[in-house]
Amino acid sequence: MEHICNECIYYDKHNKKTSSKMMFYCNNIGTYKEPDDGKKCIHYSGYSNEDSHKSQNCFITTIVVDMCGFSDEQSRLLNTLRWFRGNILQNSEYGQEYLKLYDVIGPQIAENLALEDDKELAFKLYSEGIMPVAQNIEEENYVDATTMYKTLVYRLAEKYNISTNINDYEYDINVKSDEKGHGKARVYKRTVN
Protein backbone atom coordinates (compact mmCIF):
# COMPACT_ATOMS: atom_id res chain seq x y z
CA MET A 1 0.00 0.00 0.00
CA GLU A 2 1.38 3.40 -0.94
CA HIS A 3 1.81 6.04 1.74
CA ILE A 4 2.17 9.35 -0.04
CA CYS A 5 3.52 12.09 2.18
CA ASN A 6 1.12 14.79 1.04
CA GLU A 7 -1.81 12.52 2.01
CA CYS A 8 -0.52 12.22 5.58
CA ILE A 9 -2.16 14.16 8.42
CA TYR A 10 1.31 15.30 9.54
CA TYR A 11 2.21 16.78 6.14
CA ASP A 12 2.65 20.53 6.22
CA LYS A 13 2.59 22.44 2.94
CA HIS A 14 5.50 24.62 4.09
CA ASN A 15 8.16 23.17 1.81
CA LYS A 16 11.70 24.25 1.16
CA LYS A 17 14.34 23.42 -1.39
CA THR A 18 17.78 22.36 -0.18
CA SER A 19 20.62 21.31 -2.45
CA SER A 20 18.26 20.61 -5.37
CA LYS A 21 15.94 18.43 -3.24
CA MET A 22 12.44 19.49 -2.24
CA MET A 23 11.84 18.97 1.48
CA PHE A 24 8.54 19.14 3.34
CA TYR A 25 7.75 19.80 6.97
CA CYS A 26 6.50 16.81 9.01
CA ASN A 27 4.48 17.94 12.04
CA ASN A 28 4.99 14.59 13.76
CA ILE A 29 8.77 14.70 13.87
CA GLY A 30 8.99 18.49 13.88
CA THR A 31 11.47 18.90 11.08
CA TYR A 32 11.86 19.02 7.33
CA LYS A 33 12.31 15.71 5.55
CA GLU A 34 12.52 14.28 2.08
CA PRO A 35 9.30 12.71 0.71
CA ASP A 36 9.16 8.93 0.97
CA ASP A 37 7.96 8.46 -2.63
CA GLY A 38 5.26 5.92 -1.77
CA LYS A 39 7.39 3.85 0.60
CA LYS A 40 6.05 3.19 4.06
CA CYS A 41 7.02 6.04 6.36
CA ILE A 42 7.09 5.16 10.04
CA HIS A 43 5.40 8.50 10.75
CA TYR A 44 2.66 8.15 8.13
CA SER A 45 -0.90 8.53 9.32
CA GLY A 46 -3.75 9.47 7.06
CA TYR A 47 -7.15 8.64 5.74
CA SER A 48 -8.74 8.25 2.38
CA ASN A 49 -9.81 11.45 0.64
CA GLU A 50 -12.95 9.65 -0.54
CA ASP A 51 -14.95 10.53 2.58
CA SER A 52 -15.17 14.22 3.43
CA HIS A 53 -15.03 13.70 7.20
CA LYS A 54 -11.97 11.53 6.75
CA SER A 55 -9.93 14.05 4.80
CA GLN A 56 -6.57 15.12 6.12
CA ASN A 57 -7.68 18.71 6.70
CA CYS A 58 -10.52 17.95 9.13
CA PHE A 59 -10.11 18.02 12.87
CA ILE A 60 -12.27 17.16 15.86
CA THR A 61 -15.21 19.57 15.57
CA THR A 62 -15.34 19.47 11.78
CA ILE A 63 -15.31 15.67 11.76
CA VAL A 64 -18.03 15.41 14.41
CA VAL A 65 -20.32 17.94 12.71
CA ASP A 66 -19.76 16.35 9.31
CA MET A 67 -20.39 12.83 10.65
CA CYS A 68 -23.69 14.07 12.09
CA GLY A 69 -24.63 15.47 8.66
CA PHE A 70 -25.40 19.00 9.88
CA SER A 71 -24.55 20.98 6.75
CA ASP A 72 -26.55 24.16 7.58
CA GLU A 73 -25.66 24.03 11.27
CA GLN A 74 -22.08 23.23 10.38
CA SER A 75 -21.13 26.64 9.03
CA ARG A 76 -22.74 28.56 11.92
CA LEU A 77 -21.23 26.36 14.61
CA LEU A 78 -17.80 26.12 13.02
CA ASN A 79 -17.73 29.88 12.41
CA THR A 80 -18.55 30.47 16.10
CA LEU A 81 -15.71 28.17 17.17
CA ARG A 82 -13.28 29.68 14.65
CA TRP A 83 -14.16 33.18 15.84
CA PHE A 84 -13.51 32.06 19.43
CA ARG A 85 -10.15 30.55 18.52
CA GLY A 86 -9.03 33.61 16.54
CA ASN A 87 -10.38 36.36 18.77
CA ILE A 88 -10.24 34.94 22.27
CA LEU A 89 -7.92 31.94 22.62
CA GLN A 90 -5.14 33.21 20.39
CA ASN A 91 -5.19 36.52 22.27
CA SER A 92 -5.45 35.30 25.86
CA GLU A 93 -2.99 33.82 28.30
CA TYR A 94 -5.37 31.02 29.36
CA GLY A 95 -5.94 30.11 25.71
CA GLN A 96 -2.28 29.54 24.82
CA GLU A 97 -1.87 26.29 26.75
CA TYR A 98 -5.10 24.93 25.32
CA LEU A 99 -4.08 25.79 21.72
CA LYS A 100 -0.79 23.99 22.19
CA LEU A 101 -2.59 20.94 23.62
CA TYR A 102 -4.91 20.91 20.63
CA ASP A 103 -2.07 21.24 18.13
CA VAL A 104 -0.19 18.35 19.74
CA ILE A 105 -3.04 15.85 20.17
CA GLY A 106 -5.87 17.17 17.95
CA PRO A 107 -4.69 15.35 14.80
CA GLN A 108 -4.36 12.07 16.70
CA ILE A 109 -7.88 12.36 18.15
CA ALA A 110 -9.31 13.35 14.77
CA GLU A 111 -7.67 10.36 13.12
CA ASN A 112 -9.20 8.00 15.68
CA LEU A 113 -12.64 9.57 15.34
CA ALA A 114 -12.52 9.29 11.57
CA LEU A 115 -11.34 5.69 11.64
CA GLU A 116 -13.98 4.71 14.20
CA ASP A 117 -16.71 6.44 12.13
CA ASP A 118 -19.25 6.04 14.97
CA LYS A 119 -22.32 8.20 14.30
CA GLU A 120 -23.76 7.56 17.77
CA LEU A 121 -20.54 8.83 19.34
CA ALA A 122 -20.54 11.82 16.96
CA PHE A 123 -24.09 12.81 17.99
CA LYS A 124 -23.16 12.46 21.68
CA LEU A 125 -20.02 14.59 21.26
CA TYR A 126 -22.06 17.17 19.35
CA SER A 127 -24.97 17.43 21.80
CA GLU A 128 -23.07 17.02 25.08
CA GLY A 129 -19.80 18.73 24.16
CA ILE A 130 -19.65 20.93 21.10
CA MET A 131 -23.07 22.61 21.26
CA PRO A 132 -22.72 23.63 24.93
CA VAL A 133 -19.29 25.08 24.12
CA ALA A 134 -20.77 27.12 21.26
CA GLN A 135 -23.63 28.30 23.49
CA ASN A 136 -21.14 29.49 26.11
CA ILE A 137 -19.21 31.37 23.42
CA GLU A 138 -22.40 33.07 22.20
CA GLU A 139 -23.16 34.04 25.82
CA GLU A 140 -19.57 35.37 26.17
CA ASN A 141 -18.70 32.80 28.85
CA TYR A 142 -15.26 32.31 27.34
CA VAL A 143 -13.46 30.70 30.27
CA ASP A 144 -16.31 28.18 30.68
CA ALA A 145 -16.26 27.47 26.93
CA THR A 146 -12.51 26.83 27.05
CA THR A 147 -12.81 24.56 30.08
CA MET A 148 -15.65 22.58 28.50
CA TYR A 149 -13.84 22.03 25.20
CA LYS A 150 -10.62 21.16 27.00
CA THR A 151 -12.55 18.56 29.05
CA LEU A 152 -13.96 17.12 25.83
CA VAL A 153 -10.46 16.87 24.32
CA TYR A 154 -9.12 15.20 27.48
CA ARG A 155 -11.99 12.67 27.47
CA LEU A 156 -11.26 11.79 23.85
CA ALA A 157 -7.53 11.54 24.53
CA GLU A 158 -8.27 9.12 27.36
CA LYS A 159 -10.67 7.10 25.19
CA TYR A 160 -8.00 6.68 22.50
CA ASN A 161 -5.09 6.31 24.96
CA ILE A 162 -3.33 9.48 23.74
CA SER A 163 -0.93 11.22 26.09
CA THR A 164 -1.90 14.75 27.06
CA ASN A 165 1.56 15.61 28.36
CA ILE A 166 2.52 18.63 26.29
CA ASN A 167 5.33 19.89 28.52
CA ASP A 168 7.96 18.41 26.19
CA TYR A 169 6.53 20.15 23.11
CA GLU A 170 7.03 23.63 21.76
CA TYR A 171 6.00 25.53 18.67
CA ASP A 172 8.33 26.01 15.75
CA ILE A 173 9.73 29.54 16.03
CA ASN A 174 8.08 30.49 12.72
CA VAL A 175 4.54 29.65 13.89
CA LYS A 176 2.45 32.82 14.09
CA SER A 177 -0.20 33.33 16.75
CA ASP A 178 -3.05 33.02 14.22
CA GLU A 179 -1.78 29.58 13.15
CA LYS A 180 -2.19 28.11 16.64
CA GLY A 181 -5.15 25.91 17.54
CA HIS A 182 -5.92 24.55 14.09
CA GLY A 183 -4.49 21.13 14.89
CA LYS A 184 -1.92 21.74 12.18
CA ALA A 185 0.56 24.24 13.62
CA ARG A 186 4.14 22.99 13.70
CA VAL A 187 4.90 21.67 17.16
CA TYR A 188 7.82 19.48 17.96
CA LYS A 189 9.21 17.56 20.88
CA ARG A 190 12.12 19.29 22.55
CA THR A 191 15.42 17.50 22.22
CA VAL A 192 17.26 16.74 25.43
CA ASN A 193 20.90 17.83 25.37
Query: What is the residue range of 38's domain?
Result: 1-46
34 and 62 assigned to the same domain:
no
Claim to verify: residue 114 and residue 93 sit in the same structural domain = yes
Residue 75 CA to residue 23 CA, distance in Å, equals 35
Could you report the per-residue pLDDT of 125-161, keeping only the tens digit for each? 999 999 999 999 999 999 899 999 989 999 999 999 9
Q: Coil, strand or helix: which one is 81?
A: helix
Report pLDDT digits (tens) over 81-102.
Answer: 888 988 898 888 878 888 888 8
- Residues 76, 143, single domain; the answer is yes
Is 177 in the same domain as 82?
Answer: yes
**Long-range contact pairs involving 144-150 (C-beta distance under 8 Å, separation at least 24):** 145/84, 146/88, 146/89, 146/94, 146/95, 146/98, 149/98, 150/98, 150/101
Give the number of domains in the chain. Answer: 2
Q: Are residues 9 and 84 in the same domain?
A: no
- Per DSSP, helices labelled H in the chain are 60-68, 71-87, 93-116, 119-125, 131-138, 142-159
Give domain status of residue 188, yes or no: no
pTM value surpassing 0.75: no
Query: Does residue 160 contact residue 45 with C-beta atoms inside 8 Å?
Result: no
Pairing of strands 11-18, 21-26: antiparallel
Q: CA-to-CA distance for 24 and 38, rounded, in angstroms?
A: 15
